[in-house]
Amino acid sequence: MKHSFESATGLRRLLVRLRVSGPNAWEHDAEAHELMLYAARKYEALAIKHRCDPAAGAAAAFEAMRTYAVRTADDPWAVVTMAVKVTLIAEERADGLLCSVDQARRPEISRHHDVRRFCDTEADLPNFLPALAVEPFNPDETPPTDAYEAVDATIDLFTALGWPRDTATCTLDYISARLVESGSRPKAHAALRRDHTARALLDIEQEAWSTVLRIVLGNPNPDEACTSDGHGVLLRLLIGHPVAELLDDDLLVFEISETAPRPKARIHA
How long a stretch of residues is the chain? 269
Co-location of 169 and 250 in the same domain: yes
Residue 197 pLDDT: 82
**CB atoms closer than 10 angstroms to residue 211:** 16
Angle between helices 147-160 and 228-238 in degrees, nearest 10: 120
The pLDDT tens digits for 12-45 are: 999 999 999 887 889 889 999 999 999 999 999 9
Co-location of 92 and 45 in the same domain: yes
Q: Assess whether pLDDT exceeds 80 at residue 143.
A: no
- Taking phi first (over 0 means left), then psi (-120 to 50 degrees means alpha), and beta for anything else, what does residue 98 get? left
**CB atoms closer than 10 angstroms to residue 186:** 13
Number of domains in the chain: 2
**Final residue in a domain of this structure, among 110, 136, 169:** 110
Co-location of 158 and 208 in the same domain: yes
**Final residue in a domain of this structure, among 55, 83, 110:** 110
Average pLDDT (228-248) is 87
Co-location of 68 and 153 in the same domain: no
Closest of 125, 111, 212, 124 to residue 170, by C-alpha: 212
Among residues of the chain, what percentage have pLDDT more than 90?
30
Q: Assess whether pLDDT exceeds 70 at residue 268.
A: no
How far is residue 204's CA from residue 160's CA, in Å, rounded to a whole number? Answer: 18
Domain that residue 16 falls in:
4-110
Q: Evaluate whether residue 102 is within a structural domain.
A: yes
pLDDT band at 269 (very low <50, low <70, confident <90, very high): very low
**CB atoms closer than 10 angstroms to residue 264:** 7
Burial per residue of 7-43, b for 16 or more beta-carbon CB atoms within 10 angstroms, e otherwise: eeebbbebbeebeeeeeeebeeeeebeebeebbbebb
Q: Assess whether pLDDT exceeds 50 at residue 2.
A: yes
Angle in degrees, CA 156, 159, 160, rounded to 5: 85
Residue 59 pLDDT: 93
Give the 3-state secondary structure of 202-229. HCCCHHHHHHHHHHHHCCCCHHHCCCHH
Q: Assess whether pLDDT exceeds 80 at residue 122.
A: no
Average pLDDT (243-264) is 84
